[in-house]
Amino acid sequence: MTIPFLHQLFLSNKSKKLYGRYISLDHIEPLIEEIGKNFKADVIGSSVLKKPIYSATIGNGPKRILMWSQMHGNESTTTKALFDIFNVFSNSNESQIKQIIKSCTIFVIPMLNPDGAEAYTRVNANGVDLNRDAQSLTQPESKILRQVFNEFKPDFCFNLHGQRSIFSAGNTDKLAILSFLAPAQDDDSSVTPNRKIAMDLIYRMYNALQIVIPEQIGIYDDSFNPACVGDTFQSLGVPTLLFEAGHFPEDYNREITRELIFKSLMLGLDIIGNVSDLGSHHKFYFQIPQNEKLYRDIIIRNVLIDGVVKDIAIQYEEVLKDNLVEFIPRVDSIEVSLNLFGHREIDANFQKIIASSELKLDNEIVYVVINNEKFSLFS
C-alpha cells in the first residue's frame, strides 16, 4: 500500500462522528451497532461499573491479529483510527482491502476500559492501571483481554496507546509523532524469533511512513516489565507491537496523528497479509531512534527572575470539563538554560515578566505579560 493510497482511503472513510480527545462508550456504541451489520460484533464482558466491552471481528483468513485500544481511558486517538478502519473494511472494494480480509482474521477490542474512558483517566474504576495487571489479573477488564488472547490464539498482537507531548525521536529536536516498540520478554531484552518478527514489521511501517513524517518516529522504552500486557504476550511467544499516538505540531485534538495511526495500522495489516519472510529485516529496527523526553508544550526563554536569567517550561494538564478536554498550562520547571524544546516558544528578551499567578512549580499559569504584551498560554 502506498501512502497516497492510504491518504485517500482515510479521507473517504474517516468516521465523522468521532472527534477530539474525549471518546467514551457513548460515542462508540452507535457506531458499534453500525459495524455489526458488516462484521461480527459482540459483547465479550463488562467493566468494573458493568459497562459492556465490545469486540469486532473482521476477515476470515489464517493470520490472526488481536488489537485492543483505550486500555488507558484517556488515550483515545487509536480508538478513532480503529473506527476509520472499520469503515474501510465495510465500504471499500479495493483489491488490497479484499486481500487483507482473505488473508487475516482481525479481532478488535476498541475500548477495553470504558470506565476510564468516561472519566478520562488512565486507570479503571478501581484505580488500577490495566497495563500493570497482566500477571495478577485482578481486574475484570484484564481477565477479559487474557481470555480473548487464550481463546483467539493470535499470531500478532497490536497494543494501541497514546503518548504525551514530551517525546522527541532521539536526542534531537525532532518530535516523536509516533512511537513503536517490540516489547522485551525477559530482563535481557533477548532478540527472540517472535521479537524479530515484531521488529521487522515495525521497521517496514517506519520505513513507509518516512515520506510523511521523516525522522519523527521513535522507539519506546523497552525495559522489561512482566506486569505489562505487551511484555507478557511477547513472553508467551506471540509477536507483539506497541503503537503510541503522539503529538503533531498544534494538533492537540490529535486528528492528524489519528490519520498517521490509521496509516500505520493499515500498513501493518497489509504487510502481515502479503509478506512471507517477516523477521528477516529485524536488524534495521535498531536504526530507529530511541525516544527522549526533550519537549514541553511551551517554553518561555530568557526570563529575568531575581536578577538571574532563566527558562520556564509549561506543560499542559488534560482536564475533563463538561465532556470536553481542556488543556491547563502548569509550570513544569524553572531553570537556567533549559536543554529542552518547546512546541511553542516565547522569548522574554532578558526582561521580567508578569504572570497570572506565582511562578512556582505546578502552578497554573494562564497568561504572561512581557513588555506590556499579553501572551495567552492556552492551546
Q: What is the pLDDT of residue 291?
A: 97
Q: What is the structure's pLDDT at 36?
A: 79
Q: Are 309 and 350 in contact (CB under 8 A)?
A: yes
pLDDT digits (tens, 9 = 90+) for 38-87: 899 999 999 999 999 999 999 999 999 999 999 999 999 999 999 999 99
* From-to residues of CATH 2.30.40.10 in the chain: 295-376
Q: What is the mean pLDDT of the chain?
A: 97
Q: Rounded CA gap, 141 and 133, in Å?
A: 10
The pLDDT assigned to 212 comes to 97
Query: Which pLDDT value is given to residue 21?
Result: 97
Share of the chain above pLDDT 70, in %: 100
pLDDT at 379: 85
In this prediction, residue 162 carries a pLDDT of 98
Residue 281 has pLDDT above 90, yes or no: yes
The pTM score is 0.97
Burial (CB count within 10 angstroms: exposed 0-12, middle 13-18, buried 19+), residue 318: middle
Measured between alpha carbons, how far is 183 from 280 in angstroms, rounded to an integer?
18
3-292: CATH topology is: Aminopeptidase (3.40.630)
Residue 37 pLDDT grade (very low, low, confident, very high; cuts 50, 70, 90): confident
Statement: residue 222 has pLDDT above 90 = no
CA 104 → CA 100, 236, 295, distances in Å?
6, 21, 38
Q: Which CATH architecture has domain 295-376?
A: Roll (2.30)
57's grid cell? 471481528
Closest to 38 (Cα-Cα) out of 58, 15, 10: 58
| pLDDT of 205 | 98
pLDDT band at residue 269 using 50, 70 and 90 as cut-offs: very high
Residue 38 has a pLDDT of: 85
Q: 308, 336 in Cβ contact below 8 A?
A: yes
DSSP conformation class of 285: G
pLDDT tens-digit series, residues 322-368: 999 999 999 999 999 999 999 999 999 999 999 999 999 999 999 99
pLDDT on residue 366: 97
Question: Phi and psi (nearest 5°) for 156?
Answer: -145, 150
Band of residue 237 on the pLDDT scale cut at 50, 70, 90 = very high
Helix (H) or strand (E) holding 56: strand 52-58
| pLDDT digits 0-9 by tens, 308-319 | 999 999 999 999
CA distance 330 to 313: 9
Q: Cα separations (Å) of 243 from 27, 91, 180, 230, 362?
A: 22, 25, 5, 11, 30
- Output the pLDDT for position 296: 98
Does the pLDDT of residue 35 top 90, yes or no?
no
Q: Could you give the residue range(s) of every CATH 3.40.630.10 domain in the chain?
A: 3-292
Reported as type and span, the H/E element at residue 26 is: helix 25-35
